[in-house]
């Protein structure tokens, strides 16, 4: 916590919202500027070679691919909010994913992944890291016992998202981590759909958390970023190997500032996203054109108890299918007026996506593109924004009337 934060009692730990606004930055260090400065510099200069040697010897600031004071405020703050010892910010969520995989895994290692993941993470697992002699083993982790059937002495990492993109299913972090630990495999959780305001996987036994900062953490759809959070030693390794020379995927300091700004309202936004999405999910469930709806906090979620154990709220993401399947989904998307058709999520604007349509379009240029396990042709993904709930529903209801 910064010196500027009022320490009401010496043993009082400020709450999440306070830390999201203040942690890791003291205006007194920067001429009293309440908003952190943005350091635009490629290199750091030294008065003498001795000083430069000393900085190099203790891993200090030499060059901005590895160090930037603005980005370090973001890393410190995110680590604190996630309950991690350290954090590393990267250029995008995929940069974080690539840095994690290339930084931790070597030829001959195995990584177990849940069968359903974000589409480009699937591409990394199918076409990317196997080229380096790393074996990827997809499995259905919705039953954590399935993990036991694929773990070997070569399993180094178990990787999954919860809630899962795009299905919004919930995976049991504690049960999966407990099983992975028996063979000494590490567990990395992509918590993008929940953000640390709702879910902190390290508290449930995970070792590393990944976020696409592009989504809820920035929250305003105007910048890309990614982060890895975990123990000091692992993050230092990912920094000095993964970021420094394997990917070089540095976050811009301007993006770091914008993400710090978005982060200040994260708890408020997540509460509003969650409330509105649950309301929309219930309304969809009651509509005659709708076949099924997934939202973590819906009573019909078969993993509701797990969701309530590891999440403080259900988040703004939901998935649903229409009785009229693929064609119905296309008609619905075409009928929407307020919700933007878009592939991102977690913004203040409501965004809607139909993965099967994207796949068909991609297959025209890449015929080898395959569907993702667990994602049906009817699945519609909705990222419920912060517009008035009645307006979001009115838009959906008029479009549903046309399918």
* Residues designated as active site: 65, 118, 190, 215
Contact 207, 231 (CB under 8 A): yes
Measured from the Cβ of residue 291, the count of other Cβ atoms closer than 10 Å reads 13
- Between CA 193 and CA 190 the distance in angstroms is 8
* Burial status of residue 154 (CB atoms within 10 A of its CB: 0-12, 13-18, 19 or more): middle
Task: Kindly state the smallest distance separating residue 359's Cβ from ligand PLP, in Å.
Answer: 15
Is residue 221 a contact point for ligand PLP (CB under 6 A)? Answer: no
Copy the structure tokens of residue 294. Answer: 């997934």
Residue 212 makes contact with ligand PLP by CB under 6 A: yes
To ligand PLP, the closest distance from the beta carbon of 346 in angstroms equals: 8
Q: What is the distance between the alpha carbons of residues 132 and 312, in angstroms, rounded to a whole number?
A: 39
Binding flags for ligand PLP, 118-157, as an x/- string (CB under 6 A): x---------------------------------------
How far apart, in Å, are the Cα atoms of 148 and each of 140, 141, 178? 11, 10, 11
- Give bridge partners of residue 373 from the DSSP assignment: none
What are φ and ψ of residue 158, in 5° steps? Answer: -115, 130
* Cα angle 159-164-167, degrees, rounded to a multiple of 5: 145
Nearer residue to ligand PLP within complex by CB, 226 or 267: 226
| Token pair in block for residue 77 | 């703050």
Q: What 3-state class would DSSP assign to 279?
A: helix
Q: How far is the CB of 242 from ligand PLP (least distance, A)?
A: 15
Least distance in Å: CB of 343 to ligand PLP?
7
Q: Which residue's CB is nearer to ligand PLP, number 99 or number 234?
A: 99
Nearer to ligand PLP, 68 or 214 (CB): 214
Please select the residue that binds ligand PLP; options are 136, 224, 227, 338, rule is CB under 6 A: 224
Q: Which two tokens stand for residue 291?
A: 């076949």
| Residue number, 25 or 160, with CB nearest to ligand PLP | 160
Binding mask 65-94 for ligand PLP (x = CB under 6 A): ---------------------------xxx
Q: Please select the residue that binds ligand PLP; options are 68, 99, 162, 165, rule is CB under 6 A.
A: 165
Query: What is the per-residue binding string for ligand PLP in 259-298, x denoting contact by CB under 6 A?
Result: ----------------------------------------
Q: What token pair was written down for 13?
A: 């730990």
Kindly tell me which residue out of 110, 161, 169, 378 binds ligand PLP, with binding defined by CB under 6 A.
161
Rule CB under 6 A: choose which of 98, 226, 267, 385 binds ligand PLP. Answer: 226
Q: What share of the chain is helix, strand, coil (3-state, %, to 5)?
A: 40, 15, 45
The count of residues in the chain is: 403
219 in contact with ligand PLP (CB under 6 A)? no
Euclidean distance between CA atoms 206 and 190, whole angstroms? 10
Interacting residues toward ligand PLP by CB under 6 A? 92-94, 118, 161, 165, 190, 192, 212, 214, 224, 226
């Amino acid at each position: 916590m910064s010196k500027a934060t009022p320490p009401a009692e010496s043993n009082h730990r400020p709450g999440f919202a306070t830390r999201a606004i203040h942690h890791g930055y003291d205006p007194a260090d920067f001429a009293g500027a309440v908003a952190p400065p943005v350091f635009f510099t490629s290199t750091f200069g030294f008065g003498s070679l001795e000083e430069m040697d000393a900085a190099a010897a203790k891993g200090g600031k030499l060059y901005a691919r590895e160090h930037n004071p603005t980005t370090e405020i973001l890393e410190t703050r995110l680590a604190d909010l996630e309950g991690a010892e350290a954090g590393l910010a990267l250029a995008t969520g995929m940069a974080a994913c690539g840095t994690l995989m290339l930084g931790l895994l070597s030829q001959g290692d195995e990584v177990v992944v849940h069968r359903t993941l974000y589409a480009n993470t699937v591409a990394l697992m199918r076409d990317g890291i196997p080229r380096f002699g790393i074996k990827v083993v997809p499995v259905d982790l919705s039953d954590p016992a399935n993990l036991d059937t694929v773990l070997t002495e070569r399993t180094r990492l178990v990787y999954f998202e919860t809630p899962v993109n795009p299905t919004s299913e919930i995976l049991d972090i504690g049960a999966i981590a407990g099983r992975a630990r028996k063979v000494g495999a590490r567990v990395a959780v992509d918590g993008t759909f929940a953000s640390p305001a709702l879910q902190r996987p390290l508290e449930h036994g995970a070792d590393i958390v990944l976020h696409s900062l592009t989504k809820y953490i920035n929250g305003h759809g105007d910048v890309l970023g990614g982060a890895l959070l975990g123990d000091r030693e692992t993050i230092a390794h990912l920094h000095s190997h993964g970021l420094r020379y394997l990917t070089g995927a540095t976050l811009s300091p301007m993006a770091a500032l914008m993400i710090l700004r978005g982060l200040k309202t994260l708890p408020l936004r997540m509460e509003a996203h969650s409330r509105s999405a649950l309301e929309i999910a219930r309304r969809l469930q009651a509509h005659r054109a709708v076949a099924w709806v997934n939202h973590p906090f819906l009573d019909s979620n078969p993993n509701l108890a797990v969701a309530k154990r590891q999440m403080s709220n259900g988040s703004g993401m939901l998935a649903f299918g229409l009785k009229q399947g693929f064609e119905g989904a296309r008609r619905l998307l075409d009928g929407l007026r307020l919700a933007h058709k878009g592939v991102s999520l977690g913004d203040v604007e409501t965004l809607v996506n139909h993965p099967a349509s994207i796949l068909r379009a991609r297959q025209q240029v890449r015929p080898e593109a395959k569907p993702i396990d667990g994602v049906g042709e009817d699945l519609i993904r909705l990222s419920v924004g912060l517009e008035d709930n009645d307006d979001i529903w009115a838009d959906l209801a008029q479009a549903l009337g046309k399918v």
